[in-house]
Amino acid sequence: MNIIQILLVLAVLLVLVYFLRSRGTAKSSALFKLFFVAFGIFGIYAVLRPEDLTWMAHQVGVDRGTDLMLYALVVTFAFTTLGTYIRFREAELRYTRLARAIALQDARKPGE
């Protein structure tokens, strides 16, 4: 086992521990944590057995395992970016509705 493999495995494990200990909403927590743990386990496997990743890449028509990982990370980044945009957009819409409701409530108060 190379030093870089040890460092990468430790990094993935630290991220997994941090993520699993963080608090989130019950709605998204369980399923998202399962996906995250599966992704972490796959990451550790890919670090320890890069030749298997190259084999997987060949099975889907990609020359190298590193290229396959890059493609997977680009798709993951796109989904993450889209999800973040949608969450921020929904939060912005909620803040706008809240501000309107407060403004309407303040406008209806008699005698002030």
Give the C-alpha separation, 96 to 11, whole Å.
40
Range of the domain at 26: 1-48
Q: Is residue 54 part of a domain?
A: no
Q: What is the pLDDT of residue 22?
A: 73
Side-chain-facing half-sphere of 94: CA atoms under 13 Å: 6
If one counts every other C-beta atom within 10 angstroms of the C-beta of residue 31, the result is 9
Q: Which residues have CB under 8 Å from 13's CB, separation 6+?
A: 40, 44
Q: Are residues 107 and 69 part of one domain?
A: yes
Q: Is residue 69 part of a domain?
A: yes
Residue 15 has pLDDT above 70, yes or no: yes
Q: Are residues 41 and 9 part of one domain?
A: yes
Q: Is residue 21 part of a domain?
A: yes
Q: Are residues 83 and 107 part of one domain?
A: yes
Q: Are residues 73 and 40 part of one domain?
A: no
Average pLDDT over residues 41-68: 93
Q: Is residue 105 part of a domain?
A: yes
Q: Are residues 44 and 69 part of one domain?
A: no
